[in-house]
């Protein structure tokens, strides 16, 4: 299948290259980054062996849409989106925390609560919560950005005390996070969705704070379907999710959770096609727009040509 599994370009004025789990990032001079959303897919911190057609395009275009919809809140890093799978943006110095915001007792918060914890990242949690209940108000539960291994929970007071972020900057990050989540929940509600939790990353350039990376994608956020939410809660039923949870569930059902000595199950063409279809479904539901398939052809050549053309405009 025609996918972007990896790239190995050499662009004019390129100074460095970094390959993450799912993205290839090229530094151009001191001022710009070319971020290519590959079709690699990861789960349980493991990159799966087969790429998923259109997956990178889905995430890149969802992020572009939401970044464009939040420019009145704060500036973001995007300069252009020259290809469905590529964003070119300003190179910022990233803050070494990810700002996770949660509006519901789900995921990591719920696991902590179920095990008896009544605080997460220094934030107190009320008694009497049930899984997926709406919280009295959204809470921010930051994590450190680990160079290697897993990100770790950290309290606001520790971030400031350890000098990871200055108090003045952290207050601004909190305010931006709350405003972005509010905007995200409003847009989601228009699409019949609930934005359960999400994360934002910020950077600084020339003394200005920018929103960087992707936002409100199914890889960085958890969504519930709003229709029937209250009824399912009242009946103690699981909520209908819109996320890449279906990939994790397939892996679990086939004996893989990323643990040592576990073998990644074989991904047939049928499984790959189904995952691709689900990502396209996610795109159309979250954005309310029809997914536009790119012209068939040599995808890496198309990406290279589009990026090179865009770089001449910088």
User: How sure is the predictor about 148, in pLDDT bands with cuts at 50, 70 and 90?
Assistant: low
**How far is 306 from 4, CA to CA, in rounded Å?**
14
> CA-CA distance, 147 to 6, in Å (whole number)?
21
pLDDT digits (tens, 9 = 90+) for 263-301: 999 999 999 999 999 999 999 999 999 999 988 788 999
Average pLDDT on 30-55 reads 94
What's the rounded mean pLDDT across residues 7-35?
96
- Is residue 248 scored above 90 in pLDDT? no
CA–CA separation, 14 and 199 (whole Å):
29
pLDDT bin (cut points 50, 70, 90) of residue 258 is confident
List the chain domain ranges: 94-242
How confident is the model at residue 23, as a pLDDT?
94
pLDDT of 297 reads 82
**Mean of per-residue pLDDT scores for the chain:** 94
How far is Cα 139 from Cα 146, in angstroms, rounded to an integer? 22
Average confidence (pLDDT) over 37-60: 94
Nearest to 11 by CA among 107, 22, 25, 249: 25
Q: Is the per-residue pLDDT at 197 higher than 70?
A: yes
Among 97-106, 242-251, 299-308, where is mean pLDDT lowest?
Answer: 242-251
Fold of 94-242: D-amino Acid Aminotransferase; Chain A, domain 1 (3.30.470)
65-122: per-residue pLDDT in tens?
A: 999 999 999 999 999 999 999 999 999 999 999 999 999 999 899 999 999 999 999 9
Reply yes or no on whether the pLDDT at 178 is more than 80. Answer: yes
- Band of the pLDDT at 1, cuts 50, 70, 90? low
pLDDT: which is higher, 146 or 198: 198
Tokens of 110: 């719920």
Which pLDDT band holds residue 235 (cuts at 50, 70, 90)?
very high
| Average pLDDT of the residues in 185-207 | 97
- What pLDDT, in 10s, does the model give residues 208-222? 999 999 999 988 999
Is 165's pLDDT higher than 70?
yes
Q: What is the pLDDT of residue 44?
A: 84
Please check whether residue 107 is in contact with residue 216, taking contact to mean a CB–CB distance below 8 angstroms.
no
**pLDDT-derived band of residue 4, with 50, 70 and 90 as boundaries?**
very high
**How far apart, in whole angstroms, are the C-alpha atoms of residue 241 and residue 246?**
9
What's the rounded Cα separation, in Å, for the pair 17 and 9? 9
The pLDDT of 126-146, averaged and rounded, is 94
């Amino acid at each position: 299948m025609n996918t972007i599994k990896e790239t190995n370009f050499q662009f004019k004025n390129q100074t460095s290259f970094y390959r993450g789990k799912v993205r290839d990032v090229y530094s151009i001079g001191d001022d710009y980054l070319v971020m290519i959303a590959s079709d690699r897919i990861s789960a349980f911190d493991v990159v799966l062996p087969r790429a998923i057609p259109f997956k990178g395009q889905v995430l890149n275009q969802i992020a572009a849409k939401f970044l464009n919809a939040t420019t009145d809140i704060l500036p973001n890093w995007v300069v252009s989106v020259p290809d469905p799978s590529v964003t070119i943006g300003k190179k910022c110095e990233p803050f070494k925390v990810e700002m996770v915001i949660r509006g519901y007792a789900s995921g990591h918060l719920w696991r902590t609560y179920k095990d008896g914890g009544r605080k997460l990242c220094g934030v107190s949690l009320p008694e009497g919560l049930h899984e997926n209940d709406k919280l009295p108000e959204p809470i921010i539960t930051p994590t450190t950005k680990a160079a290697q291994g897993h990100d770790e929970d950290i309290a606001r007071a520790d971030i400031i005390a350890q000098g990871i972020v200055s108090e003045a900057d952290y207050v601004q990050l909190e305010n931006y996070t709350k405003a972005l989540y509010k905007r995200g929940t409003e847009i989601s509600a228009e699409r019949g969705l609930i934005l359960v939790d999400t994360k934002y990353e910020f950077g600084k350039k020339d003394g200005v704070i920018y929103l960087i990376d992707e936002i409100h994608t199914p890889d960085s956020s958890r969504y519930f379907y709003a229709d029937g939410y209250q009824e399912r809660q009242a009946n103690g039923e699981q909520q209908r999710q819109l996320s890449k949870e279906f990939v994790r569930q397939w892996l679990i059902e086939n004996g893989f959770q990323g643990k040592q000595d576990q073998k990644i199950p074989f991904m047939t063409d049928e499984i790959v096609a189904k995952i691709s279809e689900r990502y396209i479904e996610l795109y159309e539901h979250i954005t309310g727009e029809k997914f536009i398939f790119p012209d068939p052809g040599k995808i890496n050549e198309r990406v290279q040509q589009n990026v090179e053309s865009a770089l001449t405009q910088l």
